[in-house]
Structure 1
Amino acid sequence: MYLDVIDLRDFYAEELGATVRQILGQRISTAWPTVRGDRILGLGYATPYLSGFQQEAERVIAFMPAAQGVVNWPAQGPGAAALVHEDMLPLADASVDRVLLIHALEVSNDPREVLREVWRVLSPGGRIFVVVPNRRGLWARVDTSPFGYGRPFSRRQMTMLLRESQFSPLLWSEALHMLPMKRRKIRRPTSPWETIGQKFWPAFAGVIIVEATKLLYQGIPAKEKVKARASFRPALIPAGASPRPTAG
């Protein structure tokens, strides 16, 4: 189930969305401290997290699923956002260096096809940064944020999904340990609840975060051994020769 792009935009314009953006933005910048010269793609609704890369990266673009809708981005300068089918990206093979997927896999009809298409456009050794709702977390059970929609994942499910799509997980973490409540003191970025939750109930965080790299090889399935069977080769008789008489 895709959320409308207007709902996503409005969420990040509110105080809870601003808190989420700050917490997840810190995780992204920690994983990718430098992106100098890189080509970065945001897939899903990633624009709240892409602005920090524009000054350093060679190119930053945002692709939003057709079923979700698209909004203009950035607010100033040439537009860098496009409406796409997420399993048919309008990019050449190995044309981007990093891909940020957020509000993407959990609402996709086929997350494997999305990741396989991301694998195609990612350069050798390229990396992806994925944020998905945690199956155990409270955020996946309430509709006060976009993480309460679509299909939540466990770490095991994400591991299998990445490996089936030819990605190798590099770094795992969790975030949004605070409760998705509207009380201001709970949602402030300086609130101790995020730190407390990370220490005492990490398995129940709101989102699972994983950074993974593109694999360039694939296992070859073993073939069944075929047992050799005895065969008979017919004896050919030269043209014009008569068969050898048999003893009477």
Structure 2
Amino acid sequence: MYTDIVDIRDFYDTSLGQVARRMIRRRLRELWPDVRGQIVLGIGYTTPYLRPFRDEAERVIALMPATQGVAFWPREGPGLVALADEAELPLPDMSVDRVLLVHGLEGTEQLRPMMREIWRVLAGGGRLLSVVPNRRGLWARADWTPFGHGFPYSPSQLKQVMRDTMFVPERTAHALFIPPVRSRVLLRSAPAWEEVGARWFKAFAGVTMVESSKQIFAGISRKAQPERRRLIVPMPGGTAAARRAGDPTGA
């Protein structure tokens, strides 16, 4: 079940939410350093992370699930967000190059339909970047944040979801090693927590990120020819008729 849009928006307005946005955004840019000339789609609540791509990508759009709600974005200029059913994305086939999925996978009740739709709208050489709460991290237990709601995933579980829905996991990253507390002193040390955690404590990250490519089957294998089996059909009249037909055994 999705966290209400108002609660997510209010979280990102807090000092803790701003730190979370900066730490996750930094890792996203390491994975996607260049999106020039590409169409970037955000699904879930991705607007805190899409802004750096706006001046670089050809187009940036965001879709928010209908059961989650929608918030206008950006505050300046025309809106780039639409409300949509995650199982019926209002986009043509193979129409986007990158899909960013944040606050979406862990809350959806239509996992496979949503992933099928993402597969459909993603171009052949496109990439999907999924950001989910890490099952072993402290943030998955912090229900005063949106990362403490829904179904958290371990890295292996997230990769298995990708494989089961026709994606190929390519790279894994981690973020949010700082504890989810509101202490301003601790929040100021967030970059140091990220450096140490990324080196030594990846298993306890707040969020796991998996970048996946779209799996395209090159062709359909030929149908195997059915094995021919010898059929034994009883002849009318039993053994006598069989002998008359020239089979001395009567088989």
Alignment partners' CA distance in 2, 1:28 and 1:132: 13
Alpha-carbon offset, residue 221 of structure 1: 9.0
Please name the residue that 1:113 is paired with: 113
Instruction: Give the conservation status (yes or no) of the 8 Å contact 2:64–2:84.
Output: yes
Partner of 1:99: 99
Shift of 1:220: 6.7
Cα pair 1:140 1:147 within 8 Å, conserved? yes
CA distance in 2, matches of 1:228, 1:146: 61
TM-score, normalised relative to structure 2: 0.86
Cα deviation digits, residues 114-162 of structure 1 (max 9, x gap): 1111010000110011100111111111212111000001111111110
Query: Partner of 1:132: helix, strand, or coil?
Result: strand
Partner residue in 2 for 1:168: 168
**Post-superposition CA distance 1:164-189 (Å, at most 9, x none):** 11111111111111111111122226
Aligned to 2:193: 193
Percent sequence identity is 48
User: Could you list the runs of 5+ residues in structure 2 that have no partner in the other structure?
Assistant: 234-243, 245-251
Per mean C-alpha deviation after superposition, the further-off stretch among 212-221 and 30-39 is: 212-221
The unaligned stretches of length 5 or more in structure 1 are 234-245
Aligned to 1:29, the other structure's residue is in SS state helix
Deviates more, 1:83-92 or 1:183-192: 183-192
What are the residue-to-residue correspondences of 1:30-49 with 2, within 5 Å?
30-49=30-49
1:13 maps to: 13
2 CA distance for matches of 1:220 and 1:155? Answer: 31
Q: Distance in 2 between matches of 1:152 and 1:40?
A: 25
Code of the aligned partner of 1:207: V
Q: Retained in 2: the 8 A contact 1:168–1:213?
A: yes
Q: Quick one: structure 1 residues 180 and 165, their matched pair in 2 at CA, closer, same or farther if it must change by over 3 Å?
A: same
**What TM-score, normalized to structure 1?**
0.87
> How far apart are residue 203 of structure 1 and its match?
0.5
After superposition, give the CA deviation of every residue in 1:42-85 in whole Å (9 maximum; x if it has no partner): 00000011111111211111100000000111111111101100
Structure 1 equivalent of residue 81 of structure 2? 81
- Residue by residue, what CA displacement relative to the aligned partner does 1:63-117 show, whole Å, maximum 9, x if unpaired? 0000000011111111110110001100000000000000000001132221111
CA distance in 1, matches of 2:129, 2:190: 25
Change (3 A) 1:220 1:150: farther
How far did 1:219 drift? 8.9
On the 8 A contact 2:46/2:102 being kept in 1, the answer is: yes
Q: Secondary structure of 2:168's partner?
A: strand
Correspondences of 1:1-248 after superposition (within 5 Å) = 1-188=1-188, 190-217=190-217, 226-231=226-231
How far residue 190 of structure 1 moved from its aligned partner, in angstroms, is 4.7
C-alpha contact 2:19 2:190 (8 A) present in aligned 1: no
State how far apart, in whole Å, the 2-side matches of 1:157 and 1:142 are: 20
Question: CA distance change for structure 1 residues 226 and 38 in 2, over 3 Å: closer, same or farther?
Answer: same
Please give the alpha-carbon distance, in whole angstroms, between the structure 2 residues aligned to 1:2 and 1:218. Answer: 36
